[in-house]
Amino acid sequence: MATKKSPQVPFIQSLDRGLAILQLVARSKHPVALGELAELLDIDRSSAFRLAHTLRRRGFLSCPPGRKDYVLGSSMWTLSRQYDWSNMLIKVADPELKSLATQINETAHLAIREGKSALFVDSAHATHVIAVAGQTGELVPLYCTAHGKALLADADERELRSQFGSGPLQMFTRNTITTIKGLAKECSAINEHGYATDESEYTPDVRCVAAPIRLGNDIVGSIGISAPASRFPKNLIVDYSEKVRSAAARISDALGQAAPKD
């Protein structure tokens, strides 16, 4: 039986090409020549020039001094600074955060990176009398919390040394990871499994699991749950981590992770 195709939504080709130029320039490690833009977009040089000139006129592209090729302009930086990404993340993630806390009946947190710390920007609480009550606005270390390690998941040993130095990391409990090599190994495992754990590494007798939230390929936040270890035994990690990963994936999709299909 023939299936009815959904009607194709019309789009503005010139605008689409202009946005494609911004993406191409942003992803390039070197200034992009006009000929490269024309070739990559499969258009003639005069059309590529008009598009690039318009973007340059509005400050979205710029030419390095003495050169005719293109880099991103100051308008891109201005827009990124003016937009409140954490507030947008909170709005998008709110239904998933509440759903996760309800499913597991434990405290769920949403976090973003703030320097060398993870910052809790939102939370949803369980109905238990005794619950892990990390407060919105609280900062916790990146290297020894589930949220922090989820935010670090893409970092390799060189990047971690650049961020934390080569010396031993501060110990909070006997389970705290205190070496960069150990942290790098943990980050590699997080990338493989899709979630991070905290085995009472920052707070005694508390177990946590969190997963990274992505915008495209970049980690922009983390979502997870925390509970007293007595109520969150190890045999529940697989079940809870799958729920956390699923919530993170849905938030990532809502943020626009999936590339548009032609």
Polymer length in residues for the chain: 262
In the chain, what percentage of residues exceed pLDDT 70?
89
Instruction: Give the Cβ contact number of residue 194 at 10 Å.
Output: 17
User: What pLDDT is stored for residue 213 in this prediction?
Assistant: 95
Return the CATH fold of 85-254. Beta-Lactamase (3.30.450)
Best CA proximity match to 201, nearest among 175, 227, 182, 179: 175
Best CA proximity match to 25, nearest among 11, 36, 16: 36
In the chain, domain spans: 13-80, 85-254
Pick the CATH number of 13-80 from 1.10.3300.10, 1.10.10.10, 3.30.70.260, 3.60.9.10: 1.10.10.10
Task: Give bridge partners of residue 119 from the DSSP assignment.
Answer: 112, 139
Q: What does pTM read for this prediction?
A: 0.69
CB-CB contact of 56 with 21 (8 Å): no
Give tens-digit pLDDT for 159-174: 999 999 888 999 999 9
pLDDT of residue 110 exceeding 80, the answer is yes
Confidence label for 249 from pLDDT (cuts 50, 70 and 90): very high
As a whole number, the mean pLDDT across the chain is 87
